[in-house]
Structure 1
Amino acid sequence: MDKRFTECLEDLELSPLEVEEIEQSATLLELPTRHILTHQGEFPSHVYFLLEGLCHACYLTSDGKQYSKEFYWEVDWLISFESLVKSEPSPYLLESLTPIKLLSFPVELIERWRAESHPLYIRLLETQLMYKEGKERFMLLHSPEEKYSLFCETYPELLSRVTDYQIAAYLGITHISLSRIKKRIKDKINKS
Structure 2
Amino acid sequence: MAAFTKVINFFSDLGVPNQVIESHISQLKPITLRAGEPLLAQGSEQRYGYFITSGILRACHFNERGSERCKEFYFSGELCFLYSSWLQGISAHYQIEAIDEAKVIRVPLHILSLPEYLPAKVSLLQQQLIFKEQKEALLLLNTPEQRYQHLVQYWPHWVKKLNNIQIASYIGISPVSLSRLKTRIKD
**Same structural fold, with TM-score higher than 0.5 when normalized by the shorter chain:** yes
Contact 1:67–1:172, Cα closer than 8 Å, also in 2: no
TM-score (norm 1): 0.88
In structure 2, give the amino acid aligned to 1:59: H
Match runs of 1:88-107 below 5 Å:
88-107=90-109
Three-state SS of the structure 2 residue aligned to 1:118 is: helix
Structure 2 unmatched runs, 5+: none
TM-score (norm 2): 0.90
Counterpart Cα distance in 2 of 1:175 and 1:63 = 19
**Which residue is equivalent to 2:121?**
121
Displacement after TM superposition at 1:164 (Å): 0.6
**Which residue is equivalent to 1:190?**
none
Percent pairwise identity? 29
Counterpart Cα distance in 1 of 2:154 and 2:10 = 22
Contact 2:111–2:117, Cα closer than 8 Å, also in 1: no
Matched, 1:173 2:166: no
Return structure 1 stretches of 4+ with deviation > 3 angstroms.
none
Number of residue pairs matched? 185
Match runs of 1:57-72 below 5 Å:
57-72=59-74
Contact 1:70–1:170, Cα closer than 8 Å, also in 2: yes
Contact 2:8–2:22, Cα closer than 8 Å, also in 1: no
Contact 2:151–2:158, Cα closer than 8 Å, also in 1: no
Match runs of 1:72-151 below 5 Å:
72-110=74-112, 112-113=113-114, 118-151=118-151
Three-state SS of the structure 1 residue aligned to 2:24 is: helix
**Which residue is equivalent to 1:41?**
43
Counterpart Cα distance in 1 of 2:70 and 2:82 = 15
Counterpart among 15, 18, 33 of residue 16 in structure 1: 18
In structure 2, give the amino acid aligned to 1:72: Y
**Which residue is equivalent to 1:30?**
32
In structure 2, give the amino acid aligned to 1:19: I
Counterpart Cα distance in 2 of 1:136 and 1:144 = 13
Give deviations 1:81-102, integer Å, cap 9, x for gaps: 1111222110111110111111
Counterpart Cα distance in 1 of 2:33 and 2:8 = 21
Counterpart Cα distance in 2 of 1:108 and 1:102 = 18
Contact 2:38–2:98, Cα closer than 8 Å, also in 1: yes
* Bigger radius of gyration: 1
Mean CA deviation greater in 117-126 or 15-24: 15-24
Give deviations 1:148-178, integer Å, cap 9, x for gaps: 1111222211223211111111001111211
